[in-house]
Amino acid sequence: MENQEMSFVAGIPTLDIQDFTKGSQELRNKFVSNLGNAYESIGFVAIHGHGIPDALIEDLYAQSRDFFGLSPEQKKAYARPETNNQRGFVRMGVEHAKDSEAADLKEFWQVGQPNPPSDADLTHFPSNSDVAETPQFKATAEQAFEALENLGQIMLQAIAIHLKVDESYFESWVAGGNSILRAIHYPPITGEPDSAVRAGQHEDINLITLLVGASASGLEVLRHDDTWVPVTALPEHIVINVGDMLQRLTNHQLKSTTHRVVNPPRSEWGKPRFSMPFFCHPRPEMRLDAMPHLIRDGETAAEEPISAGEYLVQRLKEIGLASK
């Protein structure tokens, strides 16, 4: 259908990315318009038709479960705090939401850019870790990284068109950028929790985040009327939201929306939850200064100029991943 309206199957606007990649000009325009409207209001969409193989995602989840099933001592051997915890294993109790002292109830594994640019400062691109106990984990994660990086590039093309800049505006910044694929494990809840949330309310740091499903519900998005909306994306969907870097760059025209992961009902406390967000970052030298054409005449930018690398370190300190 040439004039298909946006649906809300996942509790947030839902779009078919093939309208943009394979559709008529009318469908491309409709996709860009719907995406822009969603990102200027709630900051989240769910995408289907993305073409990332189910088998790849299933393998990544299976190998993540195997890794997180290792003993605490085995997992601890893969911690890499010297990378600002941007690679390898990060234990429970390290990360917390900005402006909160309560640690999130999760542990995770971080995989970074497998193909840094030839001219990159490699201090920003530490190597990824092999795991002796799960030997396929690194290769599978890097394959998923590359697939999600490509999908992120397509989404940013549509975003660029909406912002009325060249479609390739983000390409040189994000191809080979400082992105992160994070495999998250929220362990079963074994006692009365101190908080109702597994991951405190927060906004993401990066340009856009691509969330590849989750093994259980729990993600909630804060609407502008201060109500929390559960996001119940279908297995074939990838939820994609605006991060703070893109909000800064667009002078707050696109919204980096607060979200959280809440605890399940008591009857499901014994079940773990797994999640796979891909945090799409640009190269560290990209400027996040507000686009001049998005600053109204007579007004100043909503936020101070800063580079992506400087902003990342600043935020990693605020959430406990980088040393002060």
**DSSP string for 138-165:** HHHHHHHHHHHHHHHHHHHHHHHHHTTS
CB 94 within 8 A of CB 320: yes
CB 198 within 8 A of CB 271: no
Convert the pLDDT of each residue in 245-277 to its tens digit: 999 999 999 999 999 988 888 888 888 889 999
**How many Å is the Cα radius of gyration of the chain?**
19
Strand partners for 307: 287
Query: How far apart are the C-alpha atoms of 18 and 49, rounded to whole Å?
Result: 6
If we measure between CA atoms, which residue out of 175, 157, 313, 154 comes closest to residue 245?
A: 313
If we measure between CA atoms, which residue out of 258, 208, 197 comes closest to residue 238?
A: 208
| φ and ψ of 69, to 5 deg | -80, -5
Mean pLDDT of 30-52: 95
Query: How far apart are the C-alpha atoms of 86 and 79, rounded to whole Å?
Result: 10
Output the CA torsion 311→149→65→111 (10° steps).
Answer: -50
Please name the helix (run of DSSP H) or strand (run of DSSP E) that holds residue 273, with its range, or none: strand 273-280
Give residue 48's pLDDT band: very low, low, confident or very high (50, 70, 90).
very high
Token representation of residue 53: 């193989």
DSSP 3-state of 129: coil
Convert the pLDDT of each residue in 184-232 to its tens digit: 998 888 877 776 577 788 899 999 999 987 656 788 999 888 889 888 7
CB 238 within 8 A of CB 50: yes
What is the bridge-based pairing of β-strands 208-214 and 238-242?
A: antiparallel
Residue 22 exposed, middle or buried by CB count within 10 Å (0-12, 13-18, 19+): exposed
Between 159 and 124, where is the model more confident? 159
- Give the CATH number of domain 52-318: 2.60.120.330
CB 111 within 8 A of CB 145: yes
Query: How far apart are the C-alpha atoms of 235 and 12, rounded to whole Å?
Result: 15
Query: How far apart are the C-alpha atoms of 279 and 271, rounded to whole Å?
Result: 26
Give residue 10's pLDDT band: very low, low, confident or very high (50, 70, 90).
low
Alpha helices in 177-288 (DSSP H): 244-249
The pLDDT of residue 94: 87
DSSP class of residue 107 equals: E
The pLDDT of residue 277: 95
Query: How far apart are the C-alpha atoms of 212 and 59, rounded to whole Å?
Result: 13
The pLDDT of residue 224: 80
Range of weakest confidence among 43-52, 71-80, 207-216, 249-258: 207-216
For the entire predicted model, the pTM comes to 0.92
Give the type of residue at 103. A
The domains of the chain are located at 52-318
Please name the helix (run of DSSP H) or strand (run of DSSP E) that holds residue 27, with its range, or none: helix 25-41
- Mean pLDDT of all residues belonging to the chain: 90
Strand partners for 44: 241
Give percent of the chain with pLDDT exceeding 90.
67
